[in-house]
Amino acid sequence: MPAAINTTDHIIFLIGEELKSRRFFNTLQELGLDDSYFQPHLDEAIMACLGLNDSNATLDFYFTTMNEHSSKIGIKSESVAEEAKRVYEKLVANRRG
Please tell me the predicted confidence (pLDDT) of residue 52.
Answer: 94
Give the CA distances from residue 21 to residues 3, 51, 55, in Å, rounded to whole numbers and listed in that order. Answer: 27, 22, 24
Please tell me the predicted confidence (pLDDT) of residue 86.
Answer: 97
From CA 19, how far away is CA 87, in angstroms rounded?
9
pLDDT tens profile 6-58: 799 999 999 999 999 999 999 898 898 877 788 899 999 999 999 999 999 99
Please tell me the predicted confidence (pLDDT) of residue 36.
Answer: 78
Dihedral angle over CA of 27, 67, 88, 72, nearest 10 = 60
